Amino acid sequence: MTEARRSDLAAFLRTRRARITPEMVDLAPGPRRRTPGLRREEVAQLAGVGVTWYTWLEQGRPINASPQVLDAIARTLRLDPAEWQHLYRLAGHSTGVPADDTVRVTPQIREILDKLSPMPACLTNSRYDVLAWNPAYAVLVPEVVGAPDGERNTLWQSCLPSNLSSMLVNREQELPGVVAVFRGAYSRHADDPSWQAFVRRLCAVSPEFARLWARQDVADPGPREKIFKHEWAGEMRFCTTVLNSPAPETRMIVYSPMDDASRDAIDRLLRHG
């Protein structure tokens, strides 16, 4: 396990421990606590591991954790399935997903995207780089598809002042979930310099991302509700569906209009575009 991965594992465990109160695990609150959540010795006791060993794990020391021990810690910290898998990957028990997200966009993929129109749709990798899109997606978020390399990325565009961030009506509710999904993907690429550089750049230019990143929240991709407000087409509500691609860690995201007004609005954008 590399130093970067050990550091991420330590931070993740500390944030998960902080959200578990003694009452949640049937422990007496005891005297006044200096920090929220359980103490390290309480986690170690409940998980059946040594206090010193668990302390070293939270300090990012170079020690190994077996799947059985990780399971005990995950149960103690009440991790959900996405967090459980995240813990495994950080501890070096991943299934060996390639670090390279390079994908060849085939003619077949482009045809599928085009035939989904007038529903906006795009192909992204696990870092949220937009790799391909259809005309409806292009007229919905033209600044995203027209961005330079390195910034044609929906997470980047959502965190910085941009047309996408200003159009998203429910951005404050959605962005934490987007960062949590990105965190889950990052654990599979924590040793990749390009991923490390992307996170450093985004933390440097977006205090909001830096704050959400420090929370260590993790989630799996899933359906989301996106509400856009276009300057002349009006409000559009979409439910996004995530379709996994045969290429590793690549997915197609389809925006389904949630009402007739949204369907009419995207139609007007297509006619105008």
Mean pLDDT score, 17-40: 85
CATH of the domain at 26: 1.10.260.40
Give residue 98's pLDDT. 42
Same structural domain, 62 and 160: no
User: 244 and 125, same structural domain?
Assistant: yes
Q: How many domains does the chain have?
A: 2
- Which of 28, 61, 90 finishes a domain? 90
Secondary structure (H, E, C), 175-207: HHHHHHHHHHHHCCCCCCHHHHHHHHHHHHHCH
Distance, CA of 227 to CA of 261 (rounded, Å):
12
Q: With respect to residue 96, please indicate whether it lies within any of the assigned structural domains.
A: no
Statement to judge: residues 51 and 114 lie in one domain: no
Give the confidence band of 272 by pLDDT, cuts at 50, 70, 90.
Answer: confident
Asked if residue 207 and residue 158 are part of one domain, the reply reads yes
Residues 43 and 126 in one domain: no
Q: What are phi and psi of 20, to 5 degrees?
A: -100, 120
Percent of the chain scored above 70 by pLDDT? 95
Rounded mean pLDDT of 69-94?
A: 90
Last residue of a domain, one of 90, 124, 150: 90
Task: Write the pLDDT tens digit of every residue in 178-190.
Answer: 999 999 999 988 8
Specify whether 229 is located in the same domain as 133. Answer: yes
Tens digits of residue pLDDT in 224-267:
999 999 999 999 999 999 998 877 788 999 999 999 999 999 99
Cis before residue 118, ω within 30 degrees of 0?
A: yes
The predicted pLDDT at position 127 comes to 94
On whether residue 209 sits in a domain, the answer given is yes
Phi, psi of 10 (to 5 degrees): -60, -45
Domain containing residue 247: CATH number: 3.30.450.180
In a domain, 245, yes or no: yes
Residue at 100 is within a domain = no
Q: What is the pLDDT of residues 136-183, one digit of tens each?
A: 999 999 999 999 878 899 999 999 988 888 999 999 999 999 999 999
pLDDT digits (tens, 9 = 90+) for 97-112: 444 445 678 889 999 9
Per-residue model confidence (pLDDT) at position 97? 42
- Kindly give the interhelix angle for 171-186 and 207-214, rounded to the nearest 10 degrees: 60
Of 259, 254, 218, 223, nearest to 86 (Cα)? 218
Residue 237 lies in a domain: yes
Indicate whether 11 and 44 sit together in one domain: yes
Q: Looking at 26, 60, 90, which one is the last position of a domain?
A: 90
Please answer whether residues 238 and 256 qualify as being in contact, where contact means their C-beta atoms are separated by less than 8 angstroms. Answer: yes
* Residue 257 located in a structural domain: yes
139 and 246 share a domain? Answer: yes
- Compute the radius of gyration of the chain from its Cα atoms: 21
User: In the predicted model, what is the mean pLDDT of residues 84-90?
Assistant: 91
What confidence score (pLDDT) does residue 50 get?
Answer: 95
Asked, for residue 97, whether it belongs to a domain, the answer is: no
142 and 111 part of one domain: yes
pTM: 0.81
In a domain, 120, yes or no: yes
Does residue 121 share a domain with residue 21? no
Same domain flag for 219 and 139:
yes
**Calpha distance 171→154 (Å, rounded):** 12
- By residue range, what is the domain housing residue 7? 3-90
Confidence of residue 77 (pLDDT cuts 50, 70, 90): very high
**Do 221 and 183 share a domain, yes or no?**
yes
